Amino acid sequence: MKRYIYGEDPASQNDFFGIAIHEMPSPTRQDPKPIPLLRDVYALNHTSFDKIIEFHTQILFKKFPPTLMVFDCTNERTFTDLMENRFGKSRVAKVNFSAGTSGTKKMLKDDGLSILKQGYTFPNPASIKDPAKAELVRELIEQLKHEEMLLTPSGKESFDHPTGRHNDMGIAWELSIHGCIQLGLKVDLPGNRVGDPMPEPQSDSFDQIRGILNVRF
């Protein structure tokens, strides 16, 4: 049975609603640490929550029935609560980056960068037939490349994106990877640090993505 893990960054007033979906392969004796496969990405804007829920039920869930959906609910709890009420707590996980909560952005970055270290590859935008989808994958890669780590006056790590850029799909991708780990994906923690080089896309097909094992960056 295929397992699909969603990462979702609900939109704030001037941002996009980011969605990333990974397929989590089952471990085998030959491949005890399979790499998640990126199946789809979206950046939605100027769309009501009702329309986004309809998009999930009528389009996404039919293609990728969700095993788990992981939401950033730091600044937008309404949509996450709607999804939890409608589809159940067992399929919805909440990550909150507010002070005093268990979720931290560093944890999310470590999760994502650890899987990159283990050989995760992105689909090659040049091989994606749909130009709009190819541009979304290209933008996702750029968002992850341009994440910034800053030190606050108190010495704590803070993460942001450069002025004029977005990070919605990058956060959605990291949330999806975090969900894979919560469901048993084995990773070597901690991973690379923010600012380390990102691997270039190597997969030839968006629909037939395979991680290249034993690659180290």
pLDDT digits (tens, 9 = 90+) for 26-75: 888 888 788 999 999 999 987 888 999 999 999 999 999 999 999 988 87
pLDDT at 28: 85
Both tokens of residue 129? 């037939």
pLDDT at 59: 95
Is the bond preceding residue 190 a cis peptide, omega within 30 degrees?
Answer: yes
pLDDT at 12: 62
pLDDT at 169: 92
In contact, 178 and 84? CB cutoff 8 Å: no
Residue 151 per-residue DSSP state:
E
Average pLDDT value for residue range 188-202: 47
Judge whether residue 206 has pLDDT over 60.
no
211: left (phi over 0), alpha (psi -120 to 50) or beta: beta
Type of residue at 182? Q
Note the pTM of the prediction, 2 decimals. 0.79
Judge whether residue 188 has pLDDT over 70.
no
> Binning pLDDT at 50, 70 and 90, where does residue 117 land?
confident
Chain mean pLDDT for the chain:
77
Distances (CA, A) of 58 to 46, 55, 67, 147, 189: 19, 5, 17, 33, 37
Judge whether residue 98 has pLDDT over 70.
no
- Domain map (residue ranges) of the chain: 4-182
pLDDT at 210: 29
In contact, 78 and 11? CB cutoff 8 Å: no
What is the rounded CA–CA span in Å between residue 70 and residue 73?
A: 9
Strongest mean pLDDT among 25-39, 91-105, 128-142, 175-189: 128-142
pLDDT at 122: 92
Judge whether residue 138 has pLDDT over 90.
yes
Closest residue by Cα to residue 43 from 137, 128, 108: 137
β strands within 112-189, DSSP E: 148-151, 157-160
Alpha carbon distance, N-terminus to C-terminus of the chain:
32
> Binning pLDDT at 50, 70 and 90, where does residue 195 land?
very low
pLDDT at 13: 58
Judge whether residue 86 has pLDDT over 70.
yes
Judge whether residue 92 has pLDDT over 50.
yes
Query: Quick one: fold of 4-182?
Result: Nucleotidyltransferase; domain 5 (3.30.420)
105-118: burial string, b at 16+ Cβ within 10 Å, e else: bbbbbbbbbbbbbb
Which residues are paired to 43 by β-bridges?
18
